[in-house]
Amino acid sequence: MPIYEYQCEACGEQMEAMQKMSDAALTDCPKCSQPALKKLVSAAGFRLSGGGWYETDFKTGSKKNVAEGGSGSAGGGHSCGTGGCGSCA
């Protein structure tokens, strides 16, 4: 189930809600009770990396990107590719 971010235009409160994609967007702020919640556009908070069924079972020859030694497929030895995750620090 996706996690959506909301911000209240009345009081500025930010919140996250786990909802089905078919659920209606939330409108009432839990802090100030005003119908002023707006859904924010945000990036996913994780990235799948390393070997997996797609990398190991469906790619062939030089197309495989399976990392050796646990360094990840992104450059610089970071598993997330940005240096911002706990394993990169």
Do the Cβ atoms of 7 and 37 come closer than 8 Å? yes
Is this prediction's pTM over 0.85? Answer: no
Do the Cβ atoms of 81 and 65 come closer than 8 Å? no
Q: What is the pLDDT of residues 3-45, one digit of tens each?
A: 899 999 999 999 999 999 899 999 999 999 999 999 998 876 6
Do the Cβ atoms of 13 and 29 come closer than 8 Å? yes
Q: Which residues pair with 39 in a beta bridge?
A: 6
45 alpha carbon, distance to own chain's centre? 3
- Give me the mean pLDDT over the 80-84 stretch: 58
Q: What is the pLDDT of residues 52-67, one digit of tens each?
A: 666 666 666 666 665 5
Q: What is the pLDDT of residue 75?
A: 45
Q: Name the 3-class secondary structure at 77.
A: helix
Q: What is the pLDDT of residue 68?
A: 53
Q: Is the dihedral of CA 76, 77, 83, 89 positive or negative?
A: negative
Q: What is the pLDDT of residue 1?
A: 79
